[in-house]
Amino acid sequence: MTKSPFIESIRNILRVKRYSLQTEKAYLYWIRKLIFFHNKRHPRDMTESDVELFLTHLAINERVSPLTQNQALCAVVFMYRHVFGRELNNMKFHFAKTPQRIPQVLTHNEAAKVIQNLHGKHKLIASIMYGSGLRVSEVLRLRIKDLDFERNTVFVYQSKGQKDRVTLLPNNIKDQLNSQIELVRHIHERDLHDGFGLTSLPASLISKYKNAAKNFYWQYLFPSTTRCKHPHDDYICRHHLHQTAFRKALKVATKKADISKRVTSHTFRHSFATRMLETGHDIRVVQELLGHDDIKTTQIYTHVIGKNKFGAISPIDSIN
């Protein structure tokens, strides 16, 4: 398949600016989609109205979510700003709208049942999500150095919005974590013996850290089962596990636990927030642990806990 020089030029800019691989793939996807929507016209020949038409099409015809439409907008804005050196001004397009939904959460007992039906590393991944409020992508990107057993904290590096934060390290899973760390140590020693041992690092950082990338504490807590070629810098490394295997295991565990709710990886993060509020933790503390910029994002969980929000009691509950 012939690579487009134009698309490759955007890819290079994204890598120079150290955008994540996930963002790179998403931005290039939307830029290609814009080009094909306008019958392969070059973006330099497009105007604001052409971009508006594309974004409106996504909202009305493809019925994408507001987040998806915004991602497409960010991709196009990035292209015009950093490739063509111009801004998109006075944009007027149809915004995608969806009703605000209260997130699906598990009760404390339901979360425990699902976790108990998971095994090995999948059980530990779910335990960290429910115990620390992490997204599944954040758990899989954890490195050995991010765990502080003395302070009982987990360091989350450049999560959503390129923000760092610190959250809780549960006492309950320390033994499981230590076992996982020893497993990682064994894998790393074997890689070193075979002449490898480099971990996967963001684009261009490998030249900065050099042999430090072989340090055990830089290794992923959940390393992949095989070594691979780094997608940016072409060196042989060991990346982290992919989300797919965990999702399959979670689906089986939910069925075994006889939970009728729709349970995804993100359900554990929602359930963490709800449980923290139910047990009396200040909403500002929960906001900090989740890494929310706006308290309004965290406040949605107060709707989930229902009567506990105001200490309200249903009238029928007072009937003997």
Residue 212 and residue 122 share a domain: yes
Distance CA 190, CA 230 (A): 19
SS3 category, 186: helix
Whether the predicted pLDDT of 202 surpasses 60: yes
| CATH number for 78 | 1.10.150.130
- Check residue 17 and give its pLDDT: 84
Q: Which range marks the domain in which residue 47 is found? A: 5-82
Last residue of a domain, one of 36, 67, 82: 82
Residues 300-320, mean pLDDT to the nearest whole number: 64
Residue 145 and residue 207 share a domain: yes
User: Per-residue pLDDT tens for 226-279?
Assistant: 998 887 777 888 999 999 999 999 999 999 999 999 999 999 999 999 999 988
Which of 5-19, 55-69, 225-239 is least confident?
A: 225-239
Instruction: Kindly report whether the global pTM for this prediction surpasses the value 0.85.
Output: no
Residue 120 and residue 71 share a domain: no
Residue 148 and residue 290 share a domain: yes
Within a domain: 93: no
Within a domain: 94: no
Residue 263 and residue 160 share a domain: yes
Residue 179 and residue 293 share a domain: yes
Distance CA 292, CA 31 (A): 29
Read off the DSSP letter of residue 215.
S
User: Per-residue pLDDT tens for 135-174?
Assistant: 999 999 999 999 999 999 999 987 776 788 999 999 999 9
Domain count, the chain: 2
Distance CA 106, CA 261 (A): 8
Residue 161 and residue 234 share a domain: yes
Read off the DSSP letter of residue 172.
G
Residue 269 and residue 141 share a domain: yes
Residue 22 and residue 171 share a domain: no
Within a domain: 271: yes
Distance CA 173, CA 186 (A): 20
For 184, half-sphere exposure in the C-beta direction (CA atoms, 13 angstrom radius) is 28
Within a domain: 91: no
- Check residue 257 and give its pLDDT: 95
Within a domain: 268: yes
Within a domain: 253: yes
Catalytic residues: 135, 160, 266, 269, 292, 301
Residues 45-68, mean pLDDT to the nearest whole number: 90
Within a domain: 311: no
> Measuring CA to CA, how many Å separate 310 from each of 78, 272, 286, 319?
45, 20, 18, 20
Read off the DSSP letter of residue 308.
G
Residue 230 and residue 128 share a domain: yes
Residue 262 and residue 149 share a domain: yes
Within a domain: 100: no
Residue 70 and residue 12 share a domain: yes
| CATH number for 118 | 1.10.443.10
